[in-house]
Chains A and B, each alone.
Chain A
């Protein structure tokens, strides 16, 4: 790998002399995830160093799928596809969003959050950088807002040259406010009262959105015939902090 990366660098310098490039597509590698007990931090550290020192084009992550059954091989119920997804999200943050892996993970939480994506998780732990003023923030700051990507950030920058943007305009521009609205202000205004800009409120809302969009496996339809102790047992399984779908219905019908 080192040989290839050195020669790519040399051929870039000699571009004017020789027409043919050395390894024109660059080099990539693939990491199999889930077979060994490494943490996400260790995996991402490795890929960060591959990007920085060896100038790799891409690092691919692939969830371990057991093909043979042998007692020496690790036994997994299902390939860790969610983990693979989180690693790719973090990989993009490294390459296009100007993040470093030390921002995203550290020794105290070495693995990515299962419910929140890495950028959201980072933003919630660094609320001192937010809320971001959409009409003034520079490109790199806009990129750090959860829910705003490269395309949205560029679009905001071209659009705000002519007009001051408010939440309506952002919606019209096709910017997804599902997560972004908790972290931005438009002309100094927050979407809700500014008092609600705190970690608990945002976390609860984001997790609630996540709950709505993913089918719940531990969601059980309770019936009239459930005995009381069983119902109590159930309630321990739910994280009490998070509002459930039933809570929302109760809210709507005025029972809470």
Chain B
């Protein structure tokens, strides 16, 4: 089952999911597993490592992508994609091992939770989806123009795509921007199509006058609805952790 040679090399890929899948392809052909995998953006040159760059090849990526849901299962595909979107140490190497062993073992791989890389991938997926679920309630849109809404977030994982699709379903007739300030990317939607762009070039106008009024009303509501005798700050912080408070209107 584990007949992969671990080679003392550091593989560098371009930080996209296609890049990772092309690396899976190369490793599968050569029957090897590298010691480390680093994304190009976070690469620190170290004279002890022998670095090999893996080129992104869409044809290879497509073959792995199709092979995964044909020969392993849809769940494996989803697990590895969501795990890829999460922010964790050594996520690439765990996903690589998960997919490679998935091709050997088959759909059973998803239940083998006591293999550490399978559990790591599953918990990464869980963390990413959990955070996305939280932000479905913790996102605060504010109006910055006529029928244009803006929300900024500081999430740990890359949840923007998941979140955007949720709000397209909820608010199909509104134009909105969701801005991930930790990654500097933004999700734009103009009632017809959506786009994820690098947001370092966007200038966000100030919120409109009516919006300020509504923010005050919302804050007042939040304060008056609370029952003083029943306040439980520990529980409150479990549901809305302090790291997200900077973007919440009512807690500023």
Contacts and interface: CB of A to CB of B under 8 A. Distances in A.
Interface residues of A, number: 16
Interface stretch (B24-32, B107-115, B201-209): B107-115
Given A162-B111, A163-B112, A174 B123 contact: yes
A162 B230 contact: no
Interface string A152-169: 000100110111010001
B43 interface: no
Contacts of B230: 63, 65, 79, 81
A79 B229 CA distance: 7
Interface string B109-144: 001111010010001000000000000000000000
A77 to B, nearest CB: 11
| B interface secondary structure, majority | helix
Contacts of A169: 114
Contacts of B119: 172-174
Of B113, B227, B229, most buried by chain A (CB within 10 Å of CB) is B113
Given A172-B116, A174-B123, A162 B108 contact: yes
A161 B227 CA distance: 48
B229 A173 contact: no
A159 B229 contact: no
Interface residues of B, number: 12
Q: Majority SS of interface residues in chain A?
A: loop
B114 A163 contact: yes
A162 B113 CA distance: 9
Interface of B: 108, 111-114, 116, 119, 123, 227, 229-230, 232
Given A63-B230, A162-B108, 14 more contacts: A65-B229, A65-B230, A79-B230, A159-B111, A159-B113, A162-B111, A162-B112, A163-B112, A163-B114, A165-B114, A172-B116, A172-B119, A174-B119, A174-B123
Going nearest first, the 8 A-B pairs with the smallest beta carbon separation are: A159-B113, A169-B114, A158-B111, A162-B112, A163-B114, A65-B229, A79-B229, A159-B114
